[in-house]
Amino acid sequence: MHLDSTGGSVVATLVRAYLKVNYLQAETDLKRQQASNAVPPVFVTVAQGQTIIRYGDLVTPFQLEEAQAVGLLAPTTDWARIMAVFMLVIILFAVALGYLMQFRPAILRDPRQLATLGGLMLGLLVVAKVFVPINPNAQYLVPMAAVPLLVAALMDTGLGIIVALAVGLLTGIIADNVLPLTLVGFLGGAIGSIYVHRLERLGQWVTAGILVAGAQFVTLVSLSLIERHQSLDEILAIGSLTLISGLVSALIAAGSLTFLGEITRVITPMKLLELMTPNNPLLKRLMVSAPGTYNHSIVAANLAEAAAEAVGANPVLTRVGCYFHDIGKIRRPHFFVENQADIGNIHENLSPTTSSDILNAHVTEGVELLKQYHFPTTIREIVQQHQGTTVKRFFYRQALEQGLEVREEDFRYPGPRPRT
């Protein structure tokens, strides 16, 4: 049956007049609430580093709720967290500064070493920032120990341990996983720093990597077993990532040590071993051109090395310094008594002042030779200082006996005096 608009209005009026509500609104609402409460809640776990919304995706209400629950939609800056991180950085900086002022002030006066230290720290934090978003477990692949290993090998063991703490803490803050990464980074880096301070062979870096990897693995597995948030299989799988990180850290440190040593002008143990090998070109020149001086240098090196070990100095550096301390004599080897053999003393036919100048020259010419062969600054300083400012008294007295008007200063080595 079809009704026009007038008929429809009449029917609607009649229906409203006789229609009565036959249900209770309040009881209906109560039943609805009870039914809702009877449904068990659904919990969704969002893993650390899990992607909630991908770029370009249409955002669903569920994704929006997840993002809001983990605080990604918070409109305000977390100033409390920023201040906490800032204070921790200040404390770490103060500890490092105090240590350097007390024990290694020379590093504070060396812009190259300071720049290298800052660059290494910054570089690692950039790597951490790149690794962390890749995967929830990628944070454990960050080669945190590489920086303290390099700092300990190039600069100082204690500073390497402090840097290990700083690296672990800052990486943990970046990954929002402070305690595990701080402990893993600190203990792995600290053990590595203690071991690598005086590595003398490249193969020892393998041992260093194993020590770092083992320390990191044991630390993370132990901490995870204490917290018991994961199964044993998951713990061991994540722990294996720290093994990789430790080995890679040692590989990075060993590979970049020589390069950074040149930048910082720090002489590394492996560089010393390279210099003291019999195949060293300059050492071979000394052996051929001035065999007497070569033998004298070997004997002096044996004595000085034993003395260095007794007083806790660097015996390898001491030996290398002795090998080359008289290298300037190869320019005029026969003017020095150990190379004269049966040719007689040439100085008998020279004036005392000329003889004095020749002896002075073996110092300055030795430094020049080492520069030509790109020797580290430390070795050049040993050569420059090995005679100090002593007076060549034999020639000074000879000049006085000959009635020459001379001063004692004219027969003094140019120095400077030894600083070690």
> Half-sphere exposure of 20 toward its Cβ, with a 13 Å CA cutoff?
2
State pTM to two decimals: 0.66
Who has greater pLDDT, 310 or 42?
Answer: 310
3-state helix, strand, coil in the chain (%, to 5): 70, 0, 25
pLDDT value at residue 401: 84
Interval 101-105 mean pLDDT: 91
Q: How far apart are CA 387 and CA 365, in angstroms?
A: 14
Q: How far apart are CA 349 and CA 353, in angstroms?
A: 12
Kindly tell me if the per-residue pLDDT of 392 is higher than 90.
no
Interval 372-400 mean pLDDT: 88
> What are the backbone angles phi and psi of residue 23, rounded to the nearest 5°?
-135, 160
pLDDT value at residue 70: 66
How sure is the predictor about 396, in pLDDT bands with cuts at 50, 70 and 90?
confident
Helix (H) or strand (E) holding 388: none
Dihedral sign (CA 156, 158, 162, 165): positive
CA 328 vs CA 122, 271, 290, 294, 418: distances in Å: 43, 21, 10, 12, 18
Q: How far apart are CA 128 and CA 198, in angstroms?
A: 28
Interval 20-35 mean pLDDT: 71
pLDDT value at residue 137: 87
Which part of the chain is CATH 1.10.1760.20? 79-266
Structure token pair of residue 371: 């520069």
pLDDT value at residue 32: 76
Kindly tell me if the per-residue pLDDT of 22 is higher than 80.
no
How sure is the predictor about 371, in pLDDT bands with cuts at 50, 70 and 90?
very high
Average pLDDT, the chain: 86
Q: What angle do CA 76, 81, 87 make, to 5 degrees?
A: 140
Measuring CA to CA, which residue among 362, 354, 291 is closest to residue 346?
354
CA 296 vs CA 49, 253, 322: distances in Å: 65, 37, 9
Only one residue has tokens 């004298």, namely 296
The correct CATH number of 79-266 out of 3.50.50.60, 1.10.1760.20, 1.10.260.40, 1.10.1740.10 is 1.10.1760.20
Kindly tell me if the per-residue pLDDT of 30 is higher than 90.
no
Helix (H) or strand (E) holding 315: helix 315-324
Interval 412-417 mean pLDDT: 85
Kindly tell me if the per-residue pLDDT of 338 is higher than 90.
no
Measuring CA to CA, which residue among 374, 393, 416 is closest to residue 261?
374
Q: How far apart are CA 368 and CA 374, in angstroms?
A: 10
How sure is the predictor about 420, in pLDDT bands with cuts at 50, 70 and 90?
low
pLDDT value at residue 1: 56
DSSP state of 283: H
pLDDT value at residue 43: 66
Task: Look at the chain and count its residues.
Answer: 420
Buried b (16+ CB within 10 A) or exposed e, 20-41: eeeeeeeeeeeeeeeeeeeeee
Measuring CA to CA, which residue among 187, 249, 196 is closest to residue 216?
187
Show contacts of 336-339: CB within 8 Å, 24+ apart. Answer: 336/290, 336/292, 336/293, 336/362, 337/292, 338/290, 338/292, 338/293, 338/295, 338/296, 339/290, 339/291, 339/292, 339/293
Give pLDDT tens digits for 236-255: 999 999 999 999 999 999 98
Beta bridge partner(s), residue 391: 412
> Half-sphere exposure of 344 toward its Cβ, with a 13 Å CA cutoff?
5
pLDDT value at residue 407: 87
Q: What angle do CA 309, 313, 315 make, to 5 degrees?
A: 55
Lowest mean pLDDT among 18-27, 103-112, 215-224, 348-357: 18-27
pLDDT value at residue 345: 78
Q: How far apart are CA 408 and CA 420, in angstroms?
A: 26
